[in-house]
Structure 1
């Protein structure tokens, strides 16, 4: 992918600081970027649902991409509060911002974002509106197809259990925020892929909503263990993101649980998630390209703000049925290819 290769040049070799160090992300800067020419070189604004581990990296990548294009990009974190996000959008609409990038706090309320933005173009990034009909020539989406994220998880598990000759497994499911479409698709897709491979998937406990948060997943796993859950009966753990998977792993290790026969899968492909695969703690993750999503969204915003064609400078594919949706591919990661994602 052109964007992926271009943005890879922005990755600095320095250590992370603050929160970024905790999740193992590599910081991004634009100092070494080749100067980009564009019909728009003004201000952009990114309004995040909340600055968690993954979205912090996406935020950093978006700023580096904007700078490389001669634009400035500021960002705001609404802390998961959709009403606050709408206030931020309204304020951006009244500013000199050329386009507004939005990671939705509530993907059912994209229409309200568009209304709040007024005449300003909106690029939804990372979280697609549940009602895709709100997308049009000036309101677009750049992100990854969540139908594939859970599927890749389930396929990795299926291959693993087929080698063991198992046709029935017990699983634990650690979910992200309930009600978001990507939470549902990741959860359902993994189970569906297992069953499509002829493997019966049985929930050992009710799925737990951990809000994509590492600490919450760690706490929930600890509670299950304290309540007497027999981990020898658990074949696999499915987590909607790396952060929750890592929280679960930490809880298991703290409680001296033998993880050798438990297959753990997740989504995001963070540096910490990749290392967990190398260490043998996790079977697989699904790489969600934060750099690709960020750079694609920034380019789309620049195009809309400058009156250029939406796909100018973008090599990712548009959805076959909705040309206002641009897909940045997910990629499955296992021990076989983990070193391709350094």
Structure 2
């Protein structure tokens, strides 16, 4: 999946479909994303209620709008600024306004049951962040996203490969976490450490794990605080961040404080444009690509399928979960310097 190319193609397709239908709207994965941009149209409305718009979720939002327009339906998106109470209010308002389906990126994945209650009879697609209580998922409430059991694991495997090439069997790391308590935060943090252990790498924390809320500026500030408190970076081998934004924030702090990062191994998650560029420039070691276009197009199609009474997997090439037919997985992908050019 070449993200920039496919985003451009998706937007171009949306413009063409919009002119044809007269409707408006505010690697493995390459074939799948293309397959989802079907010629079928849906003359209805979708409400996309997003937790907040950072770089990754902003891309997800753009891709959802383009996908909806390519299918001839109206999609309106609302940013709740990470306020779950507001998000539930927006869900209730969308349902009262008779939207055909709701797509939601949860601000708090422990409160999915409240979303279901607020939505009433309106169909719901949970996108990108899976509810902690998966029992809320059924034929009217589904999940589309990437399997977080893989994200941290892939980070750890790529990091272990790089360390073994240098003959290292141990590593001192700094961990920068996303929002504490969210499923994907926990799985990313635990997954990378388990993968290192499985690969025979002894991992030791050089400082306490810090919660930076997936925010680049917060990560930059936390790194600066550590340096001010006397952290010796010469004893740190790698930076592990739950997303690319935090990894880049840490690197910016180190640059500003004139810390040599040439031997520092930095890994993130998402495969944002900035993260890809950092890998290409040799600043980051690796990232785990979370396919925003794939998630968005599958999420929009899932919403259309629910609203129109079609089978959930209709016109979606991604696989459903083996144990839960109400979950569609969009695979994570490993990115290093060896294949980063494929994603531009």
State the TM-score, normalizing by the size of structure 2: 0.91
Alignment partners' CA distance in 2, 1:282 and 1:39: 41
User: Residue 216 of structure 1 is aligned with which of 215, 218, 225?
Assistant: 218
Q: Which SS does the other structure have where 2:142 is aligned?
A: strand
Is it true that 1:186 corresponds to 2:191 in the alignment? Answer: no
Counterpart contact for 2:163–2:169, Cα < 8 Å: yes
* Displacement after TM superposition at 1:167 (Å): 1.1
Counterpart contact for 1:27–1:57, Cα < 8 Å: no
Question: What residue ranges of structure 2 are gaps of 5+ in the alignment?
Answer: 21-37
Counterpart contact for 2:41–2:72, Cα < 8 Å: no
* Displacement after TM superposition at 1:40 (Å): 3.1
User: Residue 31 of structure 1 is aligned with which of 9, 12, 15?
Assistant: 15
Superposed CA deviations along residues 55-89 of structure 1, whole A, max 9, x for unmatched, are 11100100000000000100111111111110000
Aligned alpha-carbon RMSD (Å): 1.9
Q: Which has the higher helix share?
A: 2
* Displacement after TM superposition at 1:51 (Å): 1.3
Alignment partners' CA distance in 1, 2:272 and 2:4: 16
| Structure-to-structure mapping, 1:189-268, within 5 angstroms | 189-268=191-270
Counterpart contact for 1:39–1:306, Cα < 8 Å: no
* Displacement after TM superposition at 1:52 (Å): 1.3
Is it true that 1:11 corresponds to 2:11 in the alignment? Answer: no
| Structure-to-structure mapping, 1:81-120, within 5 angstroms | 81-120=83-122
Q: Which SS does the other structure have where 2:269 is aligned?
A: coil
* Displacement after TM superposition at 1:96 (Å): 2.7
* Displacement after TM superposition at 1:27 (Å): 8.0
Superposed CA deviations along residues 122-147 of structure 1, whole A, max 9, x for unmatched, are 00000001111110001000000011
Q: Which SS does the other structure have where 1:206 is aligned?
A: coil
Partner of residue 155, structure 1: 157
Question: What residue ranges of structure 1 are gaps of 5+ in the alignment?
Answer: 13-25
Alignment partners' CA distance in 1, 2:4 and 2:243: 23
Is it true that 1:165 corresponds to 2:176 in the alignment? Answer: no
Q: Which SS does the other structure have where 1:122 is aligned?
A: strand
Partner of residue 21, structure 1: none
Is it true that 1:328 corresponds to 2:330 in the alignment? Answer: yes
* Displacement after TM superposition at 1:277 (Å): 0.4
State the TM-score, normalizing by the size of structure 1: 0.92
* Displacement after TM superposition at 1:10 (Å): 4.6
Q: Which SS does the other structure have where 2:296 is aligned?
A: helix
* Displacement after TM superposition at 1:38 (Å): 3.8
Partner of residue 58, structure 2: 56
Alignment partners' CA distance in 2, 1:315 and 1:270: 23
Alignment partners' CA distance in 1, 2:83 and 2:119: 17
Is it true that 1:175 corresponds to 2:159 in the alignment? Answer: no
